[in-house]
Amino acid sequence: MQGKGAQARYATLPAREMTSVQVAHLRSRFELAERSVVAERAVVLTNAALAAWEAEHGPRRLQPGQMLWEVGGKRIVLPLYDAAWVRRLAEGVSVEAVRTHIEIERVNALLEVDPRRTVEDLWRLLDQRRLPLARGRKEAGFLPPEPLGEDALRAVPRRPEGTVNVPKPVAERVVGELVSGYGCRPAQAEAMVAAVAEIRAWCCPAEDELEPGQLVWLCRSTRRTRGLDPRAMVPAVLTLITPQEAEAPLRTRTDLKALKIRQIERITAEAWRQDAVLTTLDLEWLLGIPPTMIRELLEAYQAEFGIVLPTAGTVLDMGRTLTHKALVVELALGGLSTREISRRIYHTPEAVDAYLRVFDRAVMLRYFGVPASAMPRITGHSPGLLKEHLELIEKHLPTREAMASYLGQRGVKVEELGSGP
């Protein structure tokens, strides 16, 4: 039995469900009520009608959280997320039970194409921590020899397709139900069906749009929003595992860590290139490893390469992670340009400049002897953030001469205290 704290960590997981994104967009576009029955029914009816049509006429689409894989030349769909089961978390069903039920669906999909396969084949592919792994040598390294090059990624943002060609029988059926059953005007009903179909095509790629080992995941947009607005969720194509990784030896926990850091490096960068970021919860659910291992891998990667991989905690300040701000200053003091820093920490040049402006203000205030206790009121920044910058000043610019030199390089002229106009 899991404690309430463990269960609470998964409270936001249902936000990865496509229907909540569709309903939120409908409410906004058509100025509907917060709990709009019309929006909810339009989504349910349109999705069901399109799924039935595509089952007969194609194309086969993958829902968010379904991974494409190939077995014996046949392509299969392996679910990592099932909206119906994930919703059961709110009813008190344990996380492990939900994971097990989704795993059963994967097993059935695998056995359907090859009855000789076992659940261990799926562990080797998606849940490697459950394999019997040796401890491995302490000194064995798990980091890649060099960071992933940007040229190695082919990810581009998915965009809503605009006007989607909804099959006429689907449109007529759903529009008729919305008009007769929910009092919609025909034109409004047609527009709502088109909007639902557009978002569905955006979130659910056709099979031929993906490579084996890829899935679409609903991620947080890099656009900052208040709270967890479903409209801020965007679909990103992620390469969870490659055929080469699936065949590589996996005998020790060091091998496991080496695989997981490659996966984290790749999928966080892919999400970033698609205007999205992954949370620790996303990484935990997709990779099947605990948050402690995720932190260990991210910290080791940063320490080795000086690169902060783009997660929600570093890009959106959703967690207590402040290291990226400190790293910006460290890299700038090391001579890197704004553009070089932005590429290294997966932030925009504007965000890098914003961090450096805060540091510049802290340096000026320290240069003129302003007490640390007064700085939050003067700058509007939190004491914790300023404390971090003051520690960097103490480390890198310990004298007034060093501070003056730094500010001069930043184009700021300072005058000695007490000097006249």
Interval 304-358: pLDDT, tens: 887 888 888 777 654 444 456 777 887 888 788 888 888 777 777 888 888 898 9
Share of the chain above pLDDT 70, in %: 90
Interval 85-108: pLDDT, tens: 999 988 889 999 999 999 999 999
C-beta of residue 38 within 8 angstroms of C-beta of residue 32: yes
Q: Is the pLDDT of residue 285 over 70?
A: yes
What mean pLDDT is predicted for residues 45-74? 96
For residue 126, the tally of other CB atoms under 10 A from its CB is 20
Indicate the pLDDT class of residue 297, thresholds 50, 70 and 90.
very high
The predicted pLDDT at position 417 comes to 45
Q: Is the pLDDT of residue 157 over 70?
A: yes
Chain-wide mean pLDDT for the chain?
87
Cα distance between residue 325 and residue 242, in whole Å: 33
> Would you call the peptide bond into 59 cis, given omega within 30 degrees of 0 as the criterion?
yes
Q: Is the pLDDT of residue 420 over 60?
A: no
